[in-house]
């Protein structure tokens, strides 16, 4: 079984976000980048298939050389080989086109992508890939088992869960629940050293164009000032809620 895990290089949620050039470009200065959390759940599940069923696991990302520390971490966690498409990931359609080309050339049985990335939250890449490749597709996937050429997946739906049986080749959009948070792997020193010897293929982008263009970014409005009222001063609290906040 051959598995490709799609990796997004995203800002750590604790990073302070800024924009430049009139709020038209993201400012990466001082930002710590990590593996997209939904992708990390998928990578950990792929490692389970490698350990239990002898699967071969490759990882792929669309990005410039600055993304290599992130994909090297995936190798340190246990992936066998990495692929970096040397292009700026401008939008989900552009990324999906390049990853689909990797899948075509790699003869993968399963493609595991995150349901969405935590930077743009587009939630479109795995579905677009499945349409381009004519693969079976399960989104919002929280469980995946494989037996030969057949797979059983569980996905979240409104108000519950749905169990699906399908065949390979298969693309899933994984998320929290695909493995438990306690199962996520932290690279150890041996893994980090071995990652330096593993193959990282850099390939040039295909002739593809993005479907959208970011014209401007805007930060959320800052939270309003907070008034603290002494717990013993109930009358003042009621007055403010009634006359200022108009809550009562």
Encode pLDDT of 95-133 as tens digits. 999 999 999 999 999 999 999 999 989 999 999 999 999
Cα-based distances in Å from 69 to 74, 79, 84, 99: 9, 14, 11, 19
Q: Which of 110, 95, 91, 206 is nearest to 153 (CA)?
A: 110
> Residue 79, exposed/middle/buried by CB under 10 A (0-12, 13-18, 19+)?
buried
pLDDT band of 245, cuts 50, 70, 90: confident
Distance CA 99, CA 80 (A): 18
Q: Note the pLDDT of residue 214.
A: 87
Angle between helices 125-133 and 92-106 (to 10 degrees): 50
Question: Is residue 123 within 8 Å of 131, Cβ to Cβ?
Answer: no
Q: State the pLDDT at residue 186.
A: 87
Residue 244's pLDDT band, with cuts at 50, 70 and 90, is: confident
Helix, strand, coil share of the chain (percent; to 5): 30, 30, 40
Q: What is the pLDDT of residue 204?
A: 97
For the chain, the structural domain boundaries read 2-220
The two tokens of residue 107 are 């003869």
- Topology at the third CATH level for domain 2-220: Rossmann fold (3.40.50)
Q: Name the nearest CA neighbour of 59 among 34, 87, 76, 79.
A: 79
CB atoms within 10 A of CB 116: 22
Answer whether 39's CB lies under 8 Å from 67's CB: no
Tell me whether the omega of the peptide bond preceding residue 169 falls within 30 degrees of 0, making it cis.
Answer: yes
> Is 3 a residue whose pLDDT tops 90?
yes
């Amino acid at each position: 079984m051959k598995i490709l895990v799609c990796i997004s290089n995203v800002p750590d949620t604790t990073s302070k976000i800024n924009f430049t050039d009139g709020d038209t470009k993201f400012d990466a200065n001082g930002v710590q980048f990590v593996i997209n959390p939904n992708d990390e759940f998928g990578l950990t599940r792929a490692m389970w298939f490698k350990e239990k069923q002898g699967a071969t696991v490759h990882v792929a990302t669309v990005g410039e050389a600055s993304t290599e520390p992130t994909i090297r971490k995936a190798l340190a966690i246990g992936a066998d080989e990495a692929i970096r498409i040397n292009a700026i990931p401008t939008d989900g359609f552009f990324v999906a086109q390049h990853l689909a080309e990797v899948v075509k050339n790699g003869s993968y049985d399963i493609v595991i992508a995150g349901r969405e990335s935590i930077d743009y939250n587009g939630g479109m890449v795995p579905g677009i890939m499945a349409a381009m490749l004519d693969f079976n597709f399960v989104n919002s996937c929280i469980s995946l088992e494989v037996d030969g050429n057949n797979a059983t997946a569980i996905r979240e739906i409104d108000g519950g869960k749905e169990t699906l049986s399908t065949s390979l080749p298969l693309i899933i959009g994984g998320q929290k629940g695909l493995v438990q948070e306690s199962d996520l792997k932290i690279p150890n020193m041996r893994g980090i050293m071995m990652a330096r010897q593993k193959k990282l293929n850099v390939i040039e982008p295909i002739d593809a164009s993005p479907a959208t263009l970011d014209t401007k970014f805007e930060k959320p409005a800052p939270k309003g000032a907070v008034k603290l009222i002494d717990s013993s001063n109930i009358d003042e609290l009621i007055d403010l809620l009634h006359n200022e906040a108009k809550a009562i």
